[in-house]
Amino acid sequence: IGAIALVFLIFYPFLYFGHLPDEIPMHFNGRGEADGYSGKAGIWGLVAIALGTYLLLWYINKSPHLFKNNQVKITAENAFQQYQLSTRMIRITNVVMISFFAFIVYEIIQIGLGRQETLPSIVSYTFLAALVLIPVGYLIVNWRRYKP
């Protein structure tokens, strides 16, 4: 899913960049209304931030032994399970992040093309809820597995 969102995120702006007006919305309030604008090249800044975030999380996921913020002491007996759980959390977070960025880029282009007027406000709240629930879920699973 993350790879599909990443490909979409990179290629969709290429398809529509020439059709966008010179100024497009880049910031939205809680109701999904545009309250900040940028030149259309600003869409590439958003793509760059998304790509950088994706690559950073991908790199972190490849080095679980570097994680220093574990709830339990890593031992030879629990290392595999701890690293597996941690990397799963990072992979899920990465998919959520890149999917959110892809959706936002899609919506900004749709608004720029005049096909819609606002960003669905539920999107921001859903994204924030996911970013809170993923680590909370990780903490709960880890706590249940390794109760003190």
pLDDT tens for 45-70 read 999 999 999 999 888 888 766 666 56
Q: What is the pLDDT of residue 88?
A: 83
Residues 6+ apart with CB under 8 A from 135: 89, 93
Q: CA-CA distance, 8 to 98, in Å (whole number)?
A: 10
Query: Burial, 62: exposed, middle or buried (Cβ in 10 Å; 0-12, 13-18, 19+)?
Result: exposed
How far are the Cα atoms of 40, 42, 43, 113 from residue 22, in angstroms, in the given order? 5, 10, 11, 11
pLDDT at residue 67, rounded to an integer:
65
d(Cα 122, Cα 139) in Å, to the nearest integer? 26
Rounded to whole angstroms, the Cα distance separating 100 from 9 reads 10
Spans of the chain below 70 pLDDT = 64-75, 78-79, 145-148
Looking at residue 52, its pLDDT comes to 95
Please check whether residue 69 is in contact with residue 142, taking contact to mean a CB–CB distance below 8 angstroms.
Answer: no
